[in-house]
Amino acid sequence: PNIRNGTHDQGVRNMISSLIVTGLIVAVIIYVIVAYNGFVSLRERIKEAWSGIEVQMKLRYNLIPNLVETVKGYAKHESGTFEAVTRARSEAMANQGSPAEQAQSENILTVALKSLFALAENYPELKANESFLNLQHQLSDVEDKIQAARRYYNGVVRDNNIKVDQFPSNLVAGAFKFIKAEFFELAEDEEAARRPVDVNFD
């Protein structure tokens, strides 16, 4: 009887051990699936967030030619400023590089626009022009939306990058080649950069 009991107890212990091992394997598999799907979701959210930035940047590009033409009507001789803005716009539109490279182009464009608005300060009639005020107001609105889209994008990138670095999700990231994404950083002094001239729209 003792032998039979011992054999029975050993069998129970073996079964429990097998269940524990099986349970651990299942838990690991479930975690890998969940982590993998989480990375896929973050990757798609990053793409979606970047698309939102691109939409707003295209709206910005579309406003600039009319803005330049409006200012040119009052300050034809300021060709250097107009050429700088036009060139910066073309380079920003053509830039298909990384977010960091595109941010550099956008910052150059922002500086050029700042010069354009500074130029407008010298022409009171231009500052009072309804078309100019409307374009400036639209541009300011687009700039606000770019900043909001940028903050959302960078938030998703931060979540992704933390998950790529953290244990144990970093093991899944390494196994399935999920990598860190780049932040989209505009000029440090955002408020000054995107509002070259304070205008009262009341």
Give per-residue pLDDT as tens, 5-28.
557 677 778 888 889 989 999 999
pLDDT band at residue 33 using 50, 70 and 90 as cut-offs: very high
Quickly list DSSP for 137-175. Answer: HHHHHHHHHHHHHHHHHHHHHHHHHHHHHSTTHHHHHHH
Give per-residue pLDDT as tens, 76-90.
888 899 999 999 999
pLDDT band at residue 4 using 50, 70 and 90 as cut-offs: low
Nearest-angstrom CA–CA distance, 117 and 75: 12
Give per-residue pLDDT as tens, 44-64.
999 999 999 999 999 999 999
Give per-residue pLDDT as tens, 136-154.
999 999 999 999 999 999 9
Q: Strand, coil or helix: what is 109?
A: helix
Q: Strand, coil or helix: what is 177?
A: coil
Q: Are 173 and 39 in contact (CB under 8 A)?
A: yes
Nearest-angstrom CA–CA distance, 161 and 78: 46
Percent of the chain with pLDDT over 70: 89
Tell me the average pLDDT across 170-176.
95
Which regions of 14-131 does DSSP assign to beta strands (E)? none
Nearest-angstrom CA–CA distance, 122 and 110: 19
Specify the pLDDT at position 78. 83
Which among 157, 177, 164 is positioned nearest to 47, based on CA atoms? 157
Q: How many CB atoms lie within 10 A of CB 144?
A: 13
Specify the pLDDT at position 187. 72
